[in-house]
Structure 1
Amino acid sequence: MAKRKNSQAEFVKWFGPLLDALRDLGGSAKPREASDKIAEKLNLNDEKLNESLNSGQSRYYNQVAWARQYLAWEGLLDTSQHGIWALSQKGEKTYLDDNESRAIFLKWVDIHRKAKKNKSENEILEEQEENEPDAFQNTNPTDLLQVLQSVSPYGFERICQRLLRESGFERVVVTGQSHDGGIDGHGILEINPFVSFKVLFQCKRYKGTVSRSQVGDFRNAMIGRAEKGIIITTGTFSSDAVKEANRDGAPQIELVDGEKLVEMFKKVELGVKPKTVYEVDLSFFEPYMDK
């Protein structure tokens, strides 16, 4: 049991590297950018980056997201701007070693254990192992990504068609049922009144990881037919798939993973209804808890 507990707290080792990565990126970055900077600086191998949780999401990126959450609770990261990880004034001057990171981790696990009196420390860590930070704090039984993963493959293509239209594309057509070399549809994106171009898209209703070879197959199918391609998935992309999508000298392919897809639905308010939610700020109450 002790060995399992240490495994579940593996994300603690990313505390210091995340602060360092954000400093290297000018003090702020998008989640994927910050995570990739850590991987680059520490020379993490593909086996580590591509490991998945039971839920299908990337174990590494989930762990870095939890590192970010603990640093935010500690006041080392600024949470005021949604979708951006930024250092606070305190965080800019803070450098963490393993012992200091461990102390922050134990402090906030204990705070959450006291706040959730029906939860043991192990139960809290088990929740964190398989969930993203937002899900841990505000569990929603109707999770958007789970809903998208539950629709039919053709239904997902039609939903993506609607999303592209809401995002500014014109003449969006779904062709997926014709098995057109992996192309599920196409549309026109107008940059300005003088410039527009055709975009091909592929929809993958996945819980797992899209591989490099799948990105390469999609590019081969689109060569000579469009200058731009988009792969939309409810899953994730392997690090090799990301490299393949951005390979020099080849048509660029935009990758939309489950996390980005949810944000796009929220941005255009498609299939979601905005509402005000008050989240308990445990950092405010921390000084008043029993020591």
Structure 2
Amino acid sequence: MNLNFMDFEIPLLKVLVKLGGKGSPGDVYLEVERTMGLNATDFPEEYGKYKSGAIKWKNKPAWAREYLKRKGQLDGSERGIWKITEIGKEQLNHLNKTQKDPDEGLAPLLGVDASMSDENISPEEGFNKIENIQVHETGGILGVRGIVYEPINEQGVILLFAALCHELGFMIEGIRSAFPDSLLRRRNAKGTWNSCRAEFEFKSSFFKLHKHDPKQCDLIICWEHD
């Protein structure tokens, strides 16, 4: 079973509450491993090692921490200490009451991709890169339904599809961060509607790159089909 860094968000918040609101990286990693039931037998790929000798899964809580910091749910002001904020506690309270993650579906809209942690850059560099793209880079002129530019990432693909879905014969039931990204209704030849599980990608080849299971998805919605 493969895990991505977003799978560590909620466990990380829960662990920090368990530790009294904050903890050292060593204590946090130990508790996350226990909480998630991580072990080399059930998660062999997660216990592989990088050339540096670091265990692979331990890279993902660091990315989750940076993402939670950007959302205001963790406090990164104290060096060597991971600390939950009041916003982070509110997220957990909402989850406990509703059994639903309040941030479900947020990542694609922010341009955050689960495979980011596979890149050979630090979490801070990865998220700074996203923010810089959002501020400075655009695609070519598109001019469709009030959308000025062509998509340059998955976030843009989702926005464009949402604007055109009715013309394409779809309705959107929900968008989420878990795979597959979207639950749709698709009009069939009889004029009725069928359920459709869709994954958004900027390039269709990213579906394979992200190691998604095609048996769990009916449709890839992309900007570039390569």
TM-score range, shorter chain: 0.3 to 0.5
- Provide TM-score, normalisation by structure 1: 0.36
What's the TM-score once normalised by structure 2's chain length?
A: 0.45
Greater fraction of residues in helix: 1
Q: Which structure's CA Rg is the greater one?
A: 1
